[in-house]
Amino acid sequence: MQRRTFLISSLSGLSLLALSGCVPPKPTPTGSPTPSATPAPSLVPQPQDMLRSSWSDDPFARGSYSFAAVSSTPQQREDLAEPILDRLFLAGEALSDTAPGTVQGARGSGQRAARALADVAEPGERVAVIGAGAAGVAAARLLTDAGFTVLVIEARDRLGGRIHTVTSDSWPMPVELGPSFIVAGSTNSLDEEFTGLEVSHAPFTPTPEARTPAGIVTPVSPVGADAVTAALAWAAAQAEDTSLAKALVANGSATLSMADGEAGVSDADWLDYQLATSTTLESGAPAEEMSGWYAPTPATTAADDIRIVIGGYGALLDEDATDLDVLFSSVVTRVAYTDTSVSLRLGTGESLTVDRAIVTVPLGVLKSDVIEFDPPLPFAHRGAIAALGMGALDKIWLRFEEPFWDTDAALWTTVGDDTLDFRVWVNMMPITNEPILVGFVSGERALGLAKSDNTEFTDAALRSLEPFAVVATATPAP
Cα-atom radius of gyration of the chain, to the nearest Å? 22
CA 463 → CA 46, 380, 419, distances in Å? 11, 45, 10
Tell me what the mean pLDDT of segment 119-134 comes to: 98
- The end-to-end CA distance of the chain, in Å, is 21
Strand locations in 385-470, DSSP E? 389-391, 393-399, 411-414, 424-427, 436-442
Residue 17: per-residue pLDDT: 38
Which amino acid would we find at residue 305?
Answer: D
Helices of type H across 14-169:
74-80, 103-120, 134-145
CATH of 11-61+208-309+391-469, one of 3.30.460, 3.40.190, 3.90.660, 1.10.20: 3.90.660
pLDDT tens digits, residue range 411-465?
999 999 999 999 999 999 999 999 999 999 999 999 999 999 999 999 999 999 9
pLDDT at 234 over 70: yes
247 CB-side CA count, 13 A: 28
264 CB-side CA count, 13 A: 13
Q: In this structure, what DSSP letter does residue 231 have?
A: H
pLDDT at 42 over 60: yes
Beta strands across the sheet bearing 342-346: 351-354, 342-346, 332-337, 372-374
Residue 279: per-residue pLDDT: 74
Nearest to 80 by CA among 353, 362, 284, 317: 362
pLDDT at 40 over 80: no
**CATH number of the domain located at residue range(s) 75-163+312-388 in this protein:** 3.50.50.60
Tell me what the mean pLDDT of segment 118-128 comes to: 98
pLDDT tens digits, residue range 369-408?
999 999 999 999 999 999 999 999 999 999 999 999 999 9
pLDDT at 22 over 60: no
Mean pLDDT value across the chain? 90
- 283 compared with 445, residue with greater pLDDT: 445
Statement: the pTM of the whole predicted model exceeds 0.85: yes
Spatial neighbors of 340 by CB under 8 A, at least 6 apart, are: 87
The domain spans of the chain are: 11-61+208-309+391-469, 75-163+312-388
Tell me what the mean pLDDT of segment 39-45 comes to: 70
SS3 356: strand
* Residue percentage of the chain with pLDDT more than 90: 83
Tell me what the mean pLDDT of segment 260-280 comes to: 90
Q: Are strands 389-391 and 65-67 parallel, antiparallel or unpaired?
A: antiparallel
pLDDT at 25 over 60: no
- Yes or no: say if 129 and 153 are a contact pair by the CB < 8 Å rule: yes
Residue 30: per-residue pLDDT: 42
Confidence at 350, pLDDT banded by 50, 70, 90: very high
pLDDT tens digits, residue range 150-182?
999 999 999 999 999 999 999 999 999 999 999
Confidence at 282, pLDDT banded by 50, 70, 90: confident
Residue 13: per-residue pLDDT: 38
Residue 304: per-residue pLDDT: 58
- Please tell me the distance from the alpha carbon of residue 380 to that of residue 129, in angstroms, as a whole number: 22
